[in-house]
């Protein structure tokens, strides 16, 4: 493929091929896309689960009470006084009383007492609500995968998304943005080490197994795009937001400038990541052939308690390897801005998110905005572009895994993988309820995965 064609196609198309004669893996190669205009916009989340963003975020001396419709105002106020409490105000139309409780009783105790009163319909804490985290990155409004308000997906004339068909990142960031001691290894074409969004995030020059040196500079673009999705520098007044704001990136080059890589280099890259303090390994790559050595490398990393995330593939067929190694990887399919499994026609024909029983979850993978190398557009241009494919889906999951590892470091890799699976939204439940071969347990939900909701059963 010529460099010009690679740069100027309207989307960065990620496809998978396999060269049988050389047992070589061809990975999702990008195509260049258009720029997006500079425009800054801030949004707050309107979400019914806001009250659960932090444990016990409610007033410690107030509660809200609603009496049954048959109770008069006079009797209601007398009841409030009987509890040694004081009415602050009555909210009209729905007849809710805001009540100040005495200092010698806790909110929990007062709620217990009032909810046992037959004249009271229900009593609840006076929860605190607040704006969720919206980063100031100037292209954040185009990152529908993180927050989808139903906006246009890109430049004017682009399709519009469905509101809240996203991974609920803004609510989750209220809980954690990650820490520098959690490392995501990007095993790919390398990373642009001097990209303004990544230079502070990479922990070293990494490792290049293609050229056998310690300079994992990206000469393709794919790895840079993947790294930006997972952990771009965020809230820095420019560019995009990464899923894991503060987590670090370990760049490992196992694919060449055409997006091709031998299994031997990928195996070496996985082992090197495992031996160099990676907590999460992202594998936005895949081949059609099962290989016991590749499986051994995955087992080696998995036994070191590393979460391994792999993209499923884009040819509409069975899940590719390494994602198909179900015992060690969380296999990721792609959804779009309408929460539908990704299928689209492009200049290369039809591409479709792969499917099979190995699929664990899905994440947005169509028209995903992220970083591209600084040479990608030419001198003076903005180093960002769109990409489509499961290669873009996987780093959303890797970023989430890193945040879970940060906030709950005692969890094992298998437990983190289960949290990601079981907190997902079953967005295709009308057609395929439950775990299915197309999007697994569902499209990931960062809010559910990270927010400490205590669930108890009543008897």
* Catalytic residue set: 188, 222, 391
**DSSP 8-state assignment for residue 20:** G
Paired with 346 in beta bridges are: 349
Count of CB atoms within 10 A of residue 420's CB? 27
Spatial distance between the Cα atoms of 414 and 329, rounded to a whole number of angstroms: 10
Maximum C-alpha span of the chain: 87
Q: Please, which residues have CB within 8 angstroms of residue 340's CB and are 6 or more apart in sequence?
A: 427, 428
Spatial distance between the Cα atoms of 285 and 315, rounded to a whole number of angstroms: 13
Q: Please, which residues have CB within 8 angstroms of residue 36's CB and are 6 or more apart in sequence?
A: 139, 142, 154, 155, 369, 384
**DSSP 8-state assignment for residue 385:** E
Tell me how many helices (H) and strands (E) the chain has. Answer: 10, 19
Q: Please, which residues have CB within 8 angstroms of residue 276's CB and are 6 or more apart in sequence?
A: 185, 207, 250
Q: Please, which residues have CB within 8 angstroms of residue 244's CB and are 6 or more apart in sequence?
A: 177, 178, 182, 184, 230, 231, 398, 399, 400, 402, 403, 406
Q: Which segments within 256-327 are labelled E, that is strand?
A: 260-262, 280-283, 307-311
């Amino acid at each position: 493929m010529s460099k010009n064609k690679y740069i100027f196609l309207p989307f960065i198309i990620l496809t998978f091929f396999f060269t049988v004669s050389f047992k070589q893996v061809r990975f999702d190669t990008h195509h260049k896309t258009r720029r997006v205009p500079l425009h800054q916009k801030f949004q707050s989340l309107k979400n019914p689960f806001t009250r659960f963003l932090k444990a016990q975020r409610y007033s410690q001396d107030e509660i809200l009470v609603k009496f049954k419709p048959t109770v008069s105002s006079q009797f209601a106020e007398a009841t409030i006084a009987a509890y040694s409490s004081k009415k602050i105000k009555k909210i009209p139309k729905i007849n809710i009383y805001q009540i100040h409780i005495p200092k010698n009783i806790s909110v929990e105790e007062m709620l217990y007492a009032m909810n046992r009163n037959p004249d009271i319909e229900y009593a609840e804490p006076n929860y605190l609500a607040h704006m969720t985290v919206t980063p100031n990155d100037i292209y954040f409004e185009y990152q529908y995968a993180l927050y989808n308000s139903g906006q246009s997906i890109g430049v004017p004339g682009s399709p519009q998304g469905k509101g809240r068909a996203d991974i609920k990142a803004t609510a989750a960031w209220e809980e954690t943005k990650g820490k520098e001691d959690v490392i995501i290894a990007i095993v790919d074409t390398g990373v642009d080490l001097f990209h303004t969004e990544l230079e502070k995030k990479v922990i070293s020059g990494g490792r290049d197994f293609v050229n056998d040196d310690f300079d994992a500079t990206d000469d393709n673009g794919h790895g840079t795009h993947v790294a930006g999705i997972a952990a771009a520098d965020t809230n820095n007044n420019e560019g995009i937001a990464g899923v894991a704001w503060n987590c670090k990136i370990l760049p490992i080059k196992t694919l060449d400038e055409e997006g091709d890589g031998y299994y031997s280099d990928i195996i070496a890259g996985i082992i090197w990541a495992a031996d160099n303090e990676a907590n999460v390994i992202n594998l936005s790559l895949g081949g059609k052939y099962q290989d016991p050595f590749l499986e051994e490398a995955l087992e080696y990393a998995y036994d070191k308690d590393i979460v391994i995330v792999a993209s499923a593939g884009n040819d509409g067929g069975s899940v590719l390897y390494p994602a198909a190694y179900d015992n060690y990887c969380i296999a990721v399919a792609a959804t779009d801005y309408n929460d539908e499994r990704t299928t689209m026609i492009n200049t290369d024909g039809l591409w479709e998110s792969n499917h099979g029983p190995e699929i664990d979850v899905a994440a947005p993978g169509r028209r995903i905005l992220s970083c591209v190398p600084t040479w990608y557009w030419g001198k003076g241009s903005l180093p960002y572009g769109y990409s489509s494919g499961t290669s873009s889906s996987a780093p959303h999951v890797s970023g989430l895994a890193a945040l879970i590892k940060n906030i709950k470091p005692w969890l094992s890799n298998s437990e983190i993988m289960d949290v990601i699976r079981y907190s997902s939204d079953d967005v295709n439940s009308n057609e395929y309820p439950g775990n299915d071969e197309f999007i697994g347990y569902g499209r990931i939900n960062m809010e559910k995965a990270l927010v400490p909701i205590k669930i108890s059963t009543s008897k």
